């Protein structure tokens, strides 16, 4: 993909340069076939992906501008993702948190301030996890929504104690199968090629991106088009709760035919 000049040019056109500066770019046109199943998740064991299925996750946001651009791209392709937000970012940018929820995406948490929990005392670690979840919940409260009980460890640095504690609290630790490493100082094309190669080698999986990264904003249209071209589908994760439909209010935008199925 890194050598596909027409696709790169197409992306640039969408974001920056005037059309007159382009040499007949191939536009990225979604076919609308990328959206896959919705999985209602009560425990990590509920996330059973079939061959060709991917879950998109975005950590460390929200960040106004970049998160909004990611949302626009996801909407272009009609797919839903899970955003694992930091409490301090959610507190600073509640409108962006709300925009993510209002567009039907799932929101989990990622601690308050991105500490390496494996280096903290158990009490301090649990406090940081709770503060993060509470801050995301506070940002969503004005629109009557709530975060999913999904959690991801910063740096993927976990301990057995914390994992067990989260399980007992009915939280779902969202693991990562494919790390895009989009925080490396690589070009968008390099991140794109690396992520697709790892996905193709594995065949399915939960993919980690960061919506705070400019290169991720740039590569996302190309990435989703590549998924579409290769026949992948994007699975939406929603929390399974004891609400009236077995799913909670944050999933209100789910297709009607999925309601009552869980
Ligand atoms: Zn992170």
Ligand 1: centre distance to CA 92 (Å): 17
* Binned average pLDDT, 10 residues per bin, the chain of 262 residues: 41 46 62 90 95 98 98 97 98 98 98 97 96 98 97 96 94 96 96 98 98 97 97 97 49 39 30
The number of C-alpha atoms within 13 Å of 95 and in the hemisphere containing its C-beta is 3
What is the per-residue pLDDT for 31?
Answer: 72
What is the per-residue pLDDT for 24?
Answer: 56
Ligand 1: centre distance to CA 241 (Å): 26
Is residue 27 situated within a structural domain?
A: no
Is residue 41 situated within a structural domain?
A: yes
The model carries a pTM of: 0.82
Is residue 7 situated within a structural domain?
A: no
Is residue 153 situated within a structural domain?
A: yes
Contact 157, 120 (CB under 8 A): no
- Neighbouring CB atoms inside 10 A of 13's CB total 17
Is residue 22 situated within a structural domain?
A: no
SS3 57: strand
Ligand 1: centre distance to CA 259 (Å): 32
Backbone angles phi, psi at 53, to 5 degrees: -105, 140
Is residue 167 situated within a structural domain?
A: yes
Q: What is the DSSP letter of 3?
A: T
The boundaries of the domain holding residue 101 are: 34-258
CA distance 31 to 261: 27
- Tally of domains within the chain: 1
């Amino acid at each position: 993909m890194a050598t596909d000049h027409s696709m790169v040019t197409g992306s640039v056109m969408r974001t920056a340069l005037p059309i007159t500066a382009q040499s007949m770019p191939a536009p990225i046109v979604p076919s609308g076939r990328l959206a896959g199943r919705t999985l209602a998740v009560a425990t990590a064991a509920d996330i059973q992906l079939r061959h060709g299925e991917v879950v998109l996750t975005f950590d460390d946001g929200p960040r106004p501008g970049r998160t909004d651009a990611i949302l626009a791209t996801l909407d272009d392709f009609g797919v839903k993702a899970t955003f694992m937000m930091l409490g301090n970012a959610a507190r600073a940018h509640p409108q962006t948190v709300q925009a993510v929820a209002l567009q039907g995406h799932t929101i989990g948490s990622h601690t308050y301030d991105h500490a390496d929990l494996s280096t903290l005392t158990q009490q301090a670690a649990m406090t940081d996890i709770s503060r993060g979840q509470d801050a995301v919940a506070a940002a969503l409260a004005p629109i009557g929504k709530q975060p999913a009980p999904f959690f991801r460890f910063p740096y993927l640095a976990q301990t057995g104690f914390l994992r067990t504690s989260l399980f007992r609290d009915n939280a779902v630790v969202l693991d990562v199968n494919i790390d895009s490493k989009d925080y490396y100082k690589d070009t968008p094309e390099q991140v794109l090629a690396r992520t697709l190669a790892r996905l193709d080698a594995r065949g399915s999986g939960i993919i980690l991106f960061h919506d705070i990264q400019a290169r991720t904003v740039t590569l996302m249209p190309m990435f989703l088009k590549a998924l579409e071209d290769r026949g992948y589908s994007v699975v939406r994760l929603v929390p399974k709760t004891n609400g009236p439909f077995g799913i909670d209010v944050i999933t209100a935008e789910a297709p009607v035919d999925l309601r009552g199925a869980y």
